[in-house]
């Protein structure tokens, strides 16, 4: 009833192939974009905007990157944190060393550097499969961490190895306030999410899924698996790289390797698994889940502040977080994206479910 896709007749191939073929979906997405860009920055306070929504958005982008590689192309990666680091270090070098470049160009170039590094480690996936690829990306994680801490040139020769990021300027406007930083992240993430969605719907995207589902079968039906896998690594590297640049410039305000450790790689992998493998929407939901849940638990816990000892509280937070993840995966193994699909289904059949 609320969600109607019946009777939406298409009269051209163009309509049939549109990114959101159902009018209601299309309008819902447009409305969401409008609210996100025009309402949220003015309504949400700086705490919500700068400490909750901003990290959520940026990590969603990294999750999309990993989802392309792991969810769509089936190559398990533990190196997303490292690819974010490549993007962040490349971006800070480009922005500081080449100040005349507009920052969107620097960020795209930084993403491309990360994509190239991703491609290089992707070469390994041509020879090895499954968990062995995961180990190769783990090597990427350690290797890149080492490079970033041992070449002083990369950190502009600062003794501590931590580079503070300058404010981003575009046409004389400085993006230092919280809403402006949020908007930069929002526009970037939305644009790249659309690109990803379209990539997945193209023949390149179908090639990725063919490789994931059965590599030999894909090869036999004429899919260039080498090309598909390398595409996945390069695109994934690009997305993670841009996310890393945004994380450093818009959220942390500095570039330091500890922000891109193995911990980060796992965090992104959890986002993808909990959000839903092979779903762009799932990347957003997963990022929201992982970022919001600890904060929500901590906030809820303050209600019992007097009754519970703080040391119990701190550990309780971890336990509840872990328990909820396990609970969700038992109840819905396909991730949060599957919940969204189910919800849509229920809305379609309401009020006469069968």
Partner 1 sequence: MPQCFSSRRRKSVAPACLLAFVATLGFAVPAAAQTAAPAATGGAAMEQFVPIAIYRTGPYAPGGSGIYGAYADYLALVNARDGGVNGVKLVYEECETGYQPDRMIECYERQKAKGPTGAAAFTPSGTGGVYALIDRMTADKIPSVTIGYGRTDSSDGRVFPYFFPLISNYWSENTATIRYIAEREGGLEKLKGKKIANVVMDFAAGRETQAILDAQAKRYGFEVTTFPITPPGLDQRAVWLQVRQYRPDWVLFRGWGAATPTGIKEAARAGIARDRIIGWWWSGSEEDVTPAGDAAKGFITAQFHATGPNYPVFEDIKKYVYAKGQGNVEENRIGSVYYVRGVLHGVAVTEAMRTAMKKFGNRPLTGDEVRWGLEHLVMTSERIKQLGLEGLMPEIKVTCADHEGDGAIRFQQWDGAKWVMISDWIKSDQSMVRPLIEASAAQFAKEKGITPRDCAGETN
Binding-site ranges for partner 1 (CB under 8 A):
46-47, 50-52, 55, 96, 146, 149, 158-162, 164, 166, 176, 251-254, 256, 258-259, 263, 292-300, 302-303, 305, 310-311, 313-315, 317-318, 324, 327-328, 331-332, 336, 339, 342-343, 346, 353
Contact status, residue 189 vs residue 61, Cβ threshold 8 Å = yes
Cβ closest to partner 1, residue 75 vs residue 267: 267
**DSSP letter for each residue of 279-339:** -HHHHHHHHHHHHHHHHHHHHHHGGGTTTS-HHHHHHHHHHHHHHHHHHHHHH-TT-HHHH
Q: Which is nearer to partner 1, 176 or 202 (CB)?
A: 176
How far is the C-alpha of 131 from the C-alpha of 272, rounded, in Å? 17
Q: Are 310 and 298 in contact (CB under 8 A)?
A: no
**Under a CB-based contact definition with an 8 Å cutoff, are residues 86 and 239 in contact?**
no
Q: How far is the CB of 75 from partner 1 (least distance, A)?
A: 27
CB 243 within 8 A of CB 87: yes
Report, in Å, the least distance between residue 4 CB and partner 1.
Answer: 21
Least distance from partner 1 to the Cβ atom of residue 181, Å: 11
- Contact by Cβ (8 Å): 97, 328: no
Nearer to partner 1, 149 or 226 (CB): 149
Nearer to partner 1, 226 or 254 (CB): 254
Minimum CB distance to partner 1, residue 302 (Å): 6
Q: How far is the CB of 52 from partner 1 (least distance, A)?
A: 7
Name which of 22 and 313 has its Cβ closer to partner 1.
313
Which H or E run contains 88?
helix 80-97
- CA nearest 115: which of 250, 212, 280, 232? 232
Measuring CA to CA, how many Å separate 226 from each of 73, 114, 124, 208, 315? 12, 19, 11, 10, 46
The number of beta carbons lying within 10 Å of the beta carbon of residue 60 is 29
| Least gap, CB of 299 to partner 1 (angstroms) | 4
Beta carbons within 10 angstroms of residue 80's beta carbon: 34
Query: Two tokens at 309?
Result: 């000892």
Among 264, 224, 245, 271, residue whose Cα is nearest residue 70: 271
* Nearest in space to 105 (alpha carbons), one of 158, 169, 157, 162: 169
Residue 27 or 47: the one with the smaller Cβ distance to partner 1 is: 47
Return the number of the residue (208 or 288) whose C-beta is nearest partner 1.
288
When the beta carbons of 47 and 132 are compared against partner 1, the nearer one is 47
Neighbours of 303 (CB within 10 A): 9
Q: How far is the CB of 160 from partner 1 (least distance, A)?
A: 4
Our CB check for partner 1 shows the closer of 234 and 291 to be 291
At its nearest, how many Å lie between partner 1 and the CB of residue 352?
14
In the complex, minimum distance from the CB of residue 234 to partner 1, in angstroms, rounded to a whole number: 27
CA 221 from chain centre, in angstroms, equals 31
Report the DSSP beta bridge partners of residue 168. 175
């Amino acid at each position: 009833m609320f969600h109607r896709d019946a009777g939406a007749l298409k009269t051209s191939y163009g309509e049939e192939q549109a990114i959101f073929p159902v009018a209601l979906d299309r309008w819902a997405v447009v409305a969401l974009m409008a609210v996100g860009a025009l309402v949220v920055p003015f309504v949400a306070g700086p705490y919500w905007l700068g400490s909750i929504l901003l990290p959520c958005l940026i990590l969603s982008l990294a999750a999309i990157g990993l989802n392309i590689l792991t969810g769509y192309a089936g190559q398990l990666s533990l190196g997303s944190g490292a690819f974010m680091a490549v993007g962040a270090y490349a971006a800070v070098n480009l922005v500081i060393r080449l100040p005349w470049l507009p920052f969107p160009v620097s960020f795209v170039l930084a993403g491309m550097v990360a994509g190239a590094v991703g491609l290089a480690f992707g070469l390994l996936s041509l020879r090895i499969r499954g968990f062995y690829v995961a180990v190769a990306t783990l090597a990427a994680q350690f290797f890149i961490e080492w490079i970033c801490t041992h070449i002083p040139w990369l950190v502009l020769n600062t003794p501590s190895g931590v580079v503070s990021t300058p404010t981003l300027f575009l046409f004389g406007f400085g993006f230092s306030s919280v809403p402006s930083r949020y908007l930069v992240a929002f526009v970037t993430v939305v644009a790249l999410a659309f690109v990803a969605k379209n990539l997945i719907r193209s023949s390149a995207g179908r090639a990725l899924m063919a490789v994931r589902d059965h590599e030999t079968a894909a090869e036999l039906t004429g899919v260039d698996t080498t090309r598909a896998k390398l595409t996945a690594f390069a695109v994934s590297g690009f997305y993670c790289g841009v996310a890393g640049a945004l994380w450093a410039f818009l959220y942390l305000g500095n570039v330091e390797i500890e922000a891109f450790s193995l911990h980060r790689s796992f965090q992104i992998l959890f986002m993808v698994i909990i959000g839903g493998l092979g779903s762009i929407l799932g990347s957003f939901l997963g990022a929201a889940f992982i970022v919001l849940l600890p904060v929500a638990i901590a906030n809820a816990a303050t209600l019992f502040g007097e009754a519970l000892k703080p040391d119990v509280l701190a550990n309780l937070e971890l336990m509840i977080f872990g328990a909820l993840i396990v609970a969700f995966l038992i109840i819905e193994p396909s991730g949060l994206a599957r919940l969204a699909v189910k919800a849509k289904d229920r809305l379609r059949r309401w009020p006469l479910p069968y």
